[in-house]
Amino acid sequence: MLLLLCAGQVNAEHPDLWVLTNLEPPFSQQNERGQFEGLVIDLANGILQEANIEQQILAAPWERILKEATSKANVMIFALARTPEREEQFHWITPLTSAIVGVFSMQTPDKSISQLSELDLTASIGVLDGDYRQKLLQQVGASNIVILNSWAQGAEMLLNGDIRNLFMSSIGIQVNCKTLLQDCSHIKRILTYQQITTYVALSAGTDTATISTLMQAAERYKRSAAFLQTTQEWLSNYKQKNGLDLHLDNGVINLWAAN
């Protein structure tokens, strides 16, 4: 089911644009008033405002979002992980966040692991439903994939011993352990998969005028004082409320502490 942010008017120049996201607290979430909030929500809205596009933001599970985006034109998605498999499926407008992704466990393997195929592929491993990591696990032949409804569910299952491994990001471990009020210092990253960057993206069939409008708007917005102020306010907020030490680098929010 899609969730509606507001009943704003659609710009007549872009009447068919859909704006979709998957809510991933604290960077995109629904507050007690039913409104969407968070760093990536504000950044997406900033780009839309710069483009003079007044449009609703809708939220849905990734599986639904990707189905819509691969079957319809003029669909804007954020924050979508840019992977080789998706490269030709979308127009990549601007990067938003970057995170370190890997496999986490409370059991240290006997030898170091450098790639997914070196994991114990019969051991249970949790991954979010519809997430790109689900397909990666299927490609290497993992036989005990546990599909999760949320990353919080995955963190809880890992802590309870219901799954052996969890394929997510370092920032995800931090966020969900704090949400669960759990000490996760004993959870170790047993495999670093890679650094993954999320983007504002448009579906492949989107008209060239909309692509150009949003690309130019994103460039202008990222050079603006409003972008810098919004980013700094949210990074300060996340550090104070969530204990997250993040930093801005060349227009991208890196979800780890600066060196």
pLDDT digits (tens, 9 = 90+) for 112-133: 999 999 999 999 999 999 899 9
Reported as a single tens digit per residue, the pLDDT across 132-145 is 999 999 999 999 99
Strands 165-169 and 18-21: unpaired
Split at pLDDT 50, 70, 90, the class of 259 is: confident
> What does the pLDDT read at residue 1?
39
pLDDT at 212 over 90: yes
Q: Which domains does the chain have, with CATH numbers?
A: 3-98+196-254 (3.40.190.10), 99-195 (3.40.190.10)
Q: Are 80 and 90 in contact (CB under 8 A)?
A: yes
Answer whether 180's CB lies under 8 Å from 99's CB: no
| Average pLDDT value over all residues in the chain | 92
Read off the DSSP letter of residue 206.
-
Report H helices in the chain. 39-50, 62-71, 132-140, 151-160, 170-179, 208-222, 225-242
HSE of 100 in the Cβ direction (CA atoms, 13 Å)? 14
The confidence score (pLDDT) of residue 16 equals: 81
The pair of structure tokens assigned to 41 is 């929500």
The answer to whether 74 and 210 are in contact (CB under 8 A) is yes
The string of pLDDT tens digits covering residues 6-53 is 333 344 455 589 999 999 999 999 999 999 999 999 999 999 999 999
Please report, for residues 77, 131, 241, 244, 245, the alpha-carbon distance to residue 21 in angstroms, rounded to integers and kept in the order given.
6, 13, 23, 22, 24
Could you tell me the CA-to-CA distances from 185 to 106, 113, 176, 195 in Å, in that order? 9, 20, 13, 21
Token couple for 30: 């629904």
- In which residue are the tokens 């599909």 written? 147
Q: Is the pLDDT of residue 60 over 50?
A: yes
The residues with which 147 forms a beta bridge, in sequence order, are: 127
Residue 173: partners with Cβ closer than 8 Å, 6 or more residues away: 104, 155, 166, 184, 187
* pLDDT tops 90 at residue 3: no
Give the pLDDT mean for 171-190. Answer: 93
Do residues 48 and 7 lie in contact, with contact meaning Cβ atoms separated by under 8 Å? no
This prediction has a pTM of 0.90
pLDDT (0 to 100) of residue 12: 43
pLDDT of residue 65: 96
pLDDT band at 5 (very low <50, low <70, confident <90, very high): very low
β-strand partners of 76: 19, 202
**Rounded to the nearest 10 degrees, how much is the dihedral formed by the CA atoms of 11, 14, 20, 21?**
-70
Cα–Cα distance between 44 and 21 in angstroms, integer?
10
Q: Tell me the percentage of the chain whose pLDDT exceeds 90.
A: 91
